Every structure is written in structure tokens, then in C-alpha cells.
Amino acid sequence: MLSGIYQMIRDMALLAKSPLSRAKKMDVLGAYWKLWITRPSDKALILGFTVHTHSFANVWYLFREIFVHNEYFFRATSQTPLIIDAGANIGMATLYFSWLYPQATIHAFEADPQTVITLRKNIESNTLHNVHVHHAAVAAADGTMTFYTDPRAAGSLVTSTVEGRVAYDAVQVPAVDLAKFVRELGTNVSLLKMDIEGGEVTAIGALTRDNVLTNLDQAILEYHHQINQQPAALAPFLTQWETAGFGYRLHTNAMPLAQQGKFQDILFYFYKS
């Protein structure tokens, strides 16, 4: 009970401090209480979007993280930004970007064979003609790759190309060379949003390899530090961005701090400095 009250107080505080306009804050606040009261388990109406989901817990977590906490907020230089959503899951971030910038062109990548079905439903249900869904993992080469998923948990937020991330079934999924894809767009990407559960080192490495990291204007990326007790590799990852002329901010939770070798999510915002 007390934890739920604390969560709501924190949510309201974060929404109040967010960079959204007053009108959009009020819209989110109304959607928050409606979602909490109705607690839909399969389909919800959120800010004018029809959202198909796999559970209330799934949609509630994503709505709070994305629309209330505004983890993926960014300022575009035009009303028609080009956005890549890598690790789109059911499409909540894609809907958020469409809500911020209705004229945006968005490429949404999702590797999980079950989750991408729901992602497609959410794009088609809302007739988002400028959103292009790709059933693929972003990687360093075109082809196929092994993807670890949990068939008992549709819409899971921790399916991954990293073995052992979930109690899994191993399936083969299409893979897209992210560097090649970015280069062939023929214009700069306004925002790369990436949450691919450990695959970010390989995907960003491909952008560096092909000298197209600078084709990104901004990036909001979740880095999975020491995922599955892997050796620390944050320094060379950040060096790529620094060498390409990016500055960055970061956010993480690390309590208690003194835990050696412990997995940690770190959210980065990269921008050209």
C-alpha cells in the first residue's frame, strides 16, 4: 500500500517537472488515472491511441516509464523528424514519438516473434502511415541470428540476443545491419532510441565501423552494464561516442552502490557537442 502511494507521488513529481507543455501534462495525468482505474489486460485507450497489450502490468509499466517519466523526450529541429526505435516491444515509445511529433517518420524494429505481432496491431489500429515496422534485430550484419525469448511471457521486456538473459527458447530471427540501414536512409537520423537488452555494443560498434555514428543527431540508449556477469566494457563503448563528437548525460539506479560485478541498467542521452 505505502509503496503504491510512494510510486504515485513520485510519478506526479516527475510529470510535473517534465519538459512537456502544460496541456500535454494534463492529458497524461488524465490518461494515468483512467488507466489505473480501468486496469485493462488486453486493450487500452491511451491519449487517443488504441493500445493492444499482453497484461495490465506490461502496459502500466511502459506508460509510466515513457509518457509519465518522459525517458525518451527529445527536442527535434523540425516537425518531421526521422526516428529509429530499436527494441520497440509493443510500440509504446513509437506511439509516444508519434504523439510528440505527429509528422515524424519512424522505423520500429522488434525481434521477438510474438511481440512484433502486437506491435503491428498497435501501428495498424492507429493508422500510423509514417511508421514502418521491421521484424528484425538490429545487428552488425544482415542475415539471421539467435534470439532468446520466453514463450510464456509475451511482450517480455528482457528478451535478448544475449544468452541467459531470460528462461528461454532459442529462435532464429532476421537481423539487419544497422550501419547499412542508417547509411541507406540518405539523411541524418534525428533520434536513435535503443533498448535491445545487451545487443547495443554490437549495433553501435557497427555504426562506428562504417563511420556512420555521426549520421545520428541524438540518441537515447539503454546500456546493459555487466549483463549476465560479462566483463565491464563501458569505457570503450563511450570512447566511440566521444571520438565522434558526442556529449552525454546518464541516469541509473545503483542502491546499494557497493556491489561488485552486479548487472546495472544505464540510460544514456547522447547529443552532438
- Looking at residue 167, its pLDDT comes to 59
DSSP secondary structure of 67-86: IIS-TT----SSSS-EEEEE
- Looking at residue 209, its pLDDT comes to 95
- Looking at residue 268, its pLDDT comes to 97
- Looking at residue 154, its pLDDT comes to 63
DSSP secondary structure of 123-161: HHHTT-TTEEEEESEEESSSEEEEEEE-TTSTT-S--BS
pLDDT at 164 over 70: no
pLDDT tens, position by position, 218-232: 999 999 887 777 778
Three-class SS of residue 170?
A: strand
The model's pTM is: 0.93
pLDDT at 144 over 60: yes
C-alpha grid cell, residue 21: 507543455
Nearest to 197 by CA among 260, 112, 269: 112
Work out the average pLDDT over 36-47: 95
Which helix (H) or strand (E) element contains residue 256?
Answer: none
DSSP state of 199: T
- Looking at residue 157, its pLDDT comes to 58
pLDDT at 163 over 80: no
CA distance linking residue 16 with residue 96, whole number of Å = 17
pLDDT band at 211 (very low <50, low <70, confident <90, very high): very high
- Asked whether 137 and 145 are in contact (CB, 8 A), the reply is yes
* The residue to which cell 521477438 is assigned: 112
Question: What's the one-letter identity of residue 32?
Answer: Y
- Looking at residue 165, its pLDDT comes to 61
CB count within 10 Å of CB 205 equals 17
- Looking at residue 97, its pLDDT comes to 98
